[in-house]
Each structure stands twice: as C-alpha cells, then as structure tokens.
Amino acid sequence: MAKIRNTTRQKTKTIAERRNDPTKRGGGASARAAHDDQQVTALKLKPAPLSPAMADLFKLCEQKLGFVPNVFKAFAFDMSKLEGFVGYRNAVMQGESGLSKVEQEMIATAVSTQNRCYYCVTSHGASVRGLSGDPILGEQIVMNYRAADLDQRQRAMLDFAVKLTVEPWTVEESDREGLRRAGFSDRDIWDIAAIAGFFNMTNRIASAIDMRPNSQYHAMGR
C-alpha cells in the first residue's frame, strides 16, 4: 500500500525563527493563519510515512473537518507515537460515558484555559461551540467557566477538573463525595479525572513545542 506523506514540514523556518526575522513579519490575518497552518510546531522533526491506519484517520479528518488537526501532524514523525496517542485519546474521549460529548469538551476547554494553552483552548473551545450550538457558552468556558450559567452538575464537574489541574495534591475523598452528590457515578468520576488528566498532558506538550492550532478552528461554531 502506498505511503502518504503528511505536509507538516514544507516550510523550512519555524515560527520561532520567523519571530527573529523582521523581513517576514506582518501581513496580518492571512499571514498569521498561514503560518499556524504550515508551521505546526517549533521542532524540526521529519514526518514519517503514515501507516495505513493513520492514513485512514487523516483521510477521515479531511472528510469530516476539512483538515487534519495539527496535533496529529505533530506526532506524525513517529508512527508508534502517533498511534499510541490516538489510541489512548480514543479510549479517554470516545468510549461510552455518563458525560455528554459537550461536557467532555467543557472539561477539555476549562483545563486548557487554566493552563493558557493556545492550541487546546482554540480547538476545544471550537468543539464546545459546535457541540452546544451556543457560541456564548464556548466563550464563557474559554474566559472563565464561573461566568457561565451552568447547572450544579456541570459546575461541580468543572470545579473538580480545575482543582485537579491547579493543585492536584489537595484532592481528597470530600471532593469525590461532592461529585457523587452532584449525581456522578464512580465511573463518571473516572472519566472526569481521565479527561482532565489527558488535557493537562496535551496542554504541556503543546506549550513545550509551540504547537499551532489549524486556523479553521477560530471560525467554527460562531
């Protein structure tokens, strides 16, 4: 089967290099979109040939979203890492859950904004807007989830996720009891913890390597 090369590294300069290159500055919005779409990270890592499964995933993304999320391109220098990441992400975010899809994305967004992660706030904020059909809700979770008019259940869920993000060492049985009182099962608590944990990971990978969100996210669900 033919290998498909992804296009992560077509340009030779990373964003960080461009920042030091005054001749390349400016151009405003379209320039900004262009380099977010072309310079996925600050690391010079050569993309590997896509495995069949990952080629299928990339095609599926193109069909459904119109683009391949840059996080996948960032991992694509090594198929074992990309496949491991995708597999775990699916296990965390796509199995059966007592949490709705929009609730899962609210956790992702609230955690990511706590960590001020440009990539993840952009992409998951878009998901909250899209899944809820409510662009204002998406903005509120991005800016300060406490300003959103949430019900007690969702509020308890985000309070737990943010506490777990900011000072995980203080989480104790009383916190879990609070979730149970708000209607969550132990299985749901696992999901909240796993999702909050997952984005505490991706936020840090994205920040470490200056991962840039696809420009299309910004307008989605407005």
Positions in 39-68 near a second copy (CB under 8 A): 42-45
Cα–Cα distance for residue pair 107/10, rounded to 1 Å = 34
Cα–Cα distance for residue pair 44/104, rounded to 1 Å = 32
- Minimum Å gap between C-beta 123 and a second copy is 11
- Minimum Å gap between C-beta 55 and a second copy is 18
Piece of 3-11, 36-44, 48-56, 62-70 that binds a second copy (CB under 8 A):
36-44
Instruction: Among 59, 62, 144, 183, indicate the residue that binds a second copy (CB under 8 A).
Output: 144
Instruction: Among 4, 11, 13, 33, indicate the residue that binds a second copy (CB under 8 A).
Output: 33
Q: Residue 102's closest CA among 128, 136, 141, 73?
A: 128
- Torsion angle of the four alpha carbons 96, 100, 105, 106, in this order, in degrees rounded to the nearest 10: -140
- Minimum Å gap between C-beta 4 and a second copy is 20
Provide the token pair at 77: 């220098």
Residue 2 or 149: which CB sits closer to a second copy?
Answer: 149
Number of residues that bind a second copy (CB under 8 A): 86
Q: Residue 7's closest CA among 214, 202, 203, 216?
A: 214
* 137 binds a second copy, rule: CB under 8 A: yes
Instruction: Among 69, 122, 128, 130, indicate the residue that binds a second copy (CB under 8 A).
Output: 122
- Inter-residue contact 73 to 36 (CB < 8 Å): no
* 127 binds a second copy, rule: CB under 8 A: no
Q: Which residue stretches of 76-134 are H helix?
A: 79-93, 101-114, 118-132
Q: Residue 107's closest CA among 60, 37, 82, 97?
A: 97
* 123 binds a second copy, rule: CB under 8 A: no
- Minimum Å gap between C-beta 105 and a second copy is 15
* Per-residue contact string for residues 192-211; x = within reach of a second copy by CB under 8 A: xxx-xxx-xxxxxx-xxxx-
